Amino acid sequence: MSKDEIIKAAKEAIHSFDADKAVEVAKKAIEEGVDPVEVIEKGFTVAMREVGDLFDQEKLFLPHVMAAAEAMKAAINELTPHIKAGAKTSEAMGTVVIGTIEGDIHSIGKDIVATMLKIAGFDVYDLGRDVPLTEFVNKAKEVNANIVGSSALMTTTMPNQKALEESLKRAGIREKVKTMVGGAPATQEWADKIGADAYAENASEAILKAKELVTK
């Protein structure tokens, strides 16, 4: 199977809510030496967003989205052990506290970012999903974080990314940490508006931005 065929099959597995097929495609990708990150980003993620659009248009319903998400998670579990680590340095790249923002339970994208940051050599504290703002602040203080990353998948929970900026300021640690925002509705414009230090559209970009933030 060629790379394009694998990416196409990855999309089909999500659109047919088929976890077994998704795992099969993931295994095939590894067998054929296709970059797992490319399969995640160009295949599974693109299809998940399409499923979201169909849900929005009421052509699909929540159980479909849930089944598609399960298929995606199964494929990611298969692929992540095969993501290649970057050039290893003896020192850790920095410490990142990451989570999905309060009120929001979407975790797949945040999980991918957290995993890839770990692979890139960061110490990562993943607080999970629907994380209260105080938990981000307390953890950042406790571990002396270099970066605090938040994920928001809904227009209704994005304002909490702004509230997180304010919470970090109130706690007196905003100057000590860099902040990074992501999630499908987030944009560079949003990051600028709320005063976040960086925005990344996907996990690969998140790694590049995180490296920039700690070396700046």
45 scored as a contact of ligand B12 (CB under 6 A)? yes
Q: How deeply is 25 buried, as exposed, middle or buried, from its count of CB atoms within 10 A (0-12, 13-18, 19+)?
A: buried
Query: Is residue 97 within 8 Å of residue 148, measured between CB atoms?
Result: yes
* Residue 99 found at the interface with ligand B12 (CB under 6 A): no
Site for ligand B12 in 1-40 (CB under 6 A): none
> Contact with ligand B12 (CB under 6 A): which of 26, 182, 194, 196?
182
Is 69 near ligand B12 (CB under 6 A)?
yes
Q: Which is nearer to ligand B12, 110 or 139 (CB)?
A: 110
Could you tell me which residues come within 8 angstroms of residue 211 by beta carbon, excluding any fewer than 6 positions away?
Answer: 93, 120
CB neighbours of residue 199 within 10 Å: 21
Question: Is residue 112 close enough to count as binding ligand B12 by CB under 6 A?
Answer: yes
Residue 110 touches ligand B12, criterion: CB under 6 A: yes
Among positions 185-204, residues that touch ligand B12 (CB under 6 A) are 185, 200, 202-203
Which distant-in-sequence residues (6+ apart) come within 8 Å of 191 by Cβ?
A: 181, 197, 198, 199
- Nearest distance in Å: CB 7, ligand B12: 15
Specify the 3-state DSSP secondary structure of 67: helix
Cα(149)–Cα(161) distance, integer angstroms: 9
Residue choice 183, 191, 194, 196 for contact with ligand B12 (CB under 6 A)? 183
**Which residues contribute to the site for ligand B12 (CB under 6 A)?**
41, 45, 48-49, 51-53, 55-56, 62, 65-66, 69, 98, 103-110, 112-113, 149-151, 153-156, 180-185, 200, 202-203, 206
